[in-house]
Amino acid sequence: MAQTKAAALYIRVSTDAQREEGYSIEAQTEMLEAYCKSKRIKAYDFYVDGGFTGSNIERPEMRRMIDDVKQGRVSHVIVYKLDRLSRSQKDTLYLIEDVFNPRGVDFVSLGENLDTSTPMGRAMLGIMSAFAQLEREQIRERTRMGMKERVKSGLWMGGGRLPFGYDYNRERGILVPNEDAQTVRRVYDLYLQGYSPNSIAEMVGLKYDRLVVQILTRKTNIGVICYNGVEYQGRHEPIIDTETYEKTMDMMRERSVQRIATTENLLTGLLVCGKCTAKMRYQKWGKAGHKLVCYSQQKSKAYLVKDADCDNERVWADEVEDAVIKDLHKFAIEQNDSDNSPQTATNAQDVLKQQYDSVSQQIKRLYALYANDGNDLLLETIEGKRRDLANIHQQLLREQERNTTTGKLRETLNKIESLADIWDYMTVKEKQDVVRRCIDKVEVKNNGVSIHFKVL
């Protein structure tokens, strides 16, 4: 039995455009329904994206419409105006040429009188979409040029995250040192005295040592504004002088050369304390080697401490590594032996896709209700549903990523079935790559080791 097709009436409104005449949901709905009646199109379905930009096609109802087109459920795609579909020429042409046309789906835009079922309509489409793209690029270029002119004149670009130690004076358009400026000066002083970023973070009350590095390398502190890789002299007051900054950069380069990398450690980043769940680290233990130590016992990085009273034993790193390598080889053989077993588990992606489609339908119905009576309470419900839809979308992305990771893991397992024979001939980097592809974490509790392999 042939599948019944319907026209897809696509509506998009941005946050600002909802108040503009001719762009509201209700106005677009009326125009599209009137067109369908004039063309005697009885079967149609609405796809409504409220509050989404036209600069890309990553919109819930747009994605649903694309899926329906690919499933053969759509006969036409009809919009009020071309820019409702997309403001990007690339996206517009992709939708028309790669999604609609191959499946015999005609595209109609009422505002430009476009109909791709005719040769003239197809020709006009290319012209109109080019102008839509041109308009968007001109707006972006004007914004960029305006920003550049501001910065060239020494003014702050405005918006975004402010540099630590400064506030933004909107009236004057410049940065103004605040009470944290003294902390910035102290960070430089301590670093030049030889303290590490981690020690400095603890002394001045910053949460992470990387924040210290960001402060040290930021040229805003000497009155310079960096924009698109170019430096401009700012009008704002410097927190430190140029000489201090240059001395700091010289010392950072010297320390970088002197730093000894710890890439020889096989399990770095995978170790977890089996008692308090804090991360663990390798610690040099005289000439005998390394031991694994819980960060809760180190106190060197306060934000990594899970239990200040953790009494997990310190174990020899080579013993744990040997246990991991032995189990890794066993794991590879077991997984390859069971690789052909029947798959009975429910496909998580299918379940999430069903949830996505269900919530999308609910949003569509809510927009239809709002178009009829304009009840603002419905907007709150719609916003909640949109958040639910965004969460499901993120879960779908994570599931896709997990499936990709699983594919890489299977590939790795196939290669390391003879791990015991080739391990001693592999480089450190190759060994680390194998371990990280197969293992999620390694829990160490006193003398016991629990290895958590990634699930296929």
Q: pLDDT digits over 150-195, tens only? A: 888 888 877 667 899 999 888 888 899 999 999 999 999 988 888 8
Query: Which residues are marked as active site?
Result: 14
Domains of the chain: 6-144 (3.40.50.1390), 166-258 (3.90.1750.20), 261-456 (no CATH)
Q: Name the burial class of residue 97, with classes exposed (0-12), middle (13-18) and buried (19+) by CB atoms within 10 angstroms of its CB.
A: middle
**Mean pLDDT of the region 282-294:** 88
> Furthest-apart CA pair in the chain: how many Å?
88
**Mean pLDDT of the region 48-76:** 89
Residues 6+ apart with CB under 8 A from 52: 12, 14, 59, 60, 62
Mean pLDDT across the chain, nearest whole number? 80
Q: pLDDT digits over 395-414, tens only? A: 777 776 666 655 555 555 55
HSE (CB half, 13 Å, CA atoms) of 291? 14
Beta-bridge partner residues of 8: 45, 77
Alpha carbon distances (Å) from 170 to 134, 159, 174: 32, 10, 7
d(CA 163, CA 239): 11
d(CA 91, CA 133): 10
Strand order in the sheet with 280-284: 280-284, 290-294, 315-316
d(CA 180, CA 186): 10
Q: What is the pLDDT of residue 336?
A: 56
Residue 45: pLDDT above 90?
Answer: yes
Residue 371: pLDDT above 90?
Answer: no
Q: What is the pLDDT of residue 425?
A: 54
The DSSP call for residue 402 is H
Residue 2: pLDDT above 70?
Answer: no
Helix (H, G, I), strand (E, B) or coil at 239: coil
Q: pLDDT digits over 302-348, tens only? A: 778 888 899 999 999 989 988 888 888 777 666 655 554 444 334 66
Q: What is the pLDDT of residue 220?
A: 92
- What does pTM read for this prediction? 0.38
Q: Name the burial class of residue 317, with classes exposed (0-12), middle (13-18) and buried (19+) by CB atoms within 10 angstroms of its CB.
A: buried
Alpha carbon distances (Å) from 98 to 58, 63, 64, 117: 16, 14, 16, 15
Cβ atoms within 10 Å of 154's Cβ, excluding its own:
15
Amino acid at 258: Q
| Local confidence band at 11 (pLDDT 50, 70, 90 cut-offs) | very high
Query: Shortest CA distance to 5 belongs to which of 58, 51, 69?
Result: 69
Bridge-based pairing state of the strands 44-50 and 74-79: unpaired
Q: pLDDT digits over 406-437, tens only? A: 555 555 555 555 555 556 656 677 677 778 77
d(CA 365, CA 282): 57
Q: pLDDT digits over 104-157, tens only? A: 999 998 887 888 878 777 777 667 666 766 766 776 777 677 677 888 888 887
| Local confidence band at 260 (pLDDT 50, 70, 90 cut-offs) | very low
The DSSP call for residue 446 is T
Torsion of CA 220, 224, 227, 230, to 10 degrees: -140
Q: What is the pLDDT of residue 294?
A: 92
Residue 245: pLDDT above 90?
Answer: yes
Q: What is the pLDDT of residue 335?
A: 61
| Local confidence band at 354 (pLDDT 50, 70, 90 cut-offs) | confident
Instruction: Write out the two tokens for 233.
Output: 């002299």
d(CA 18, CA 12): 9
Helix (H, G, I), strand (E, B) or coil at 237: coil
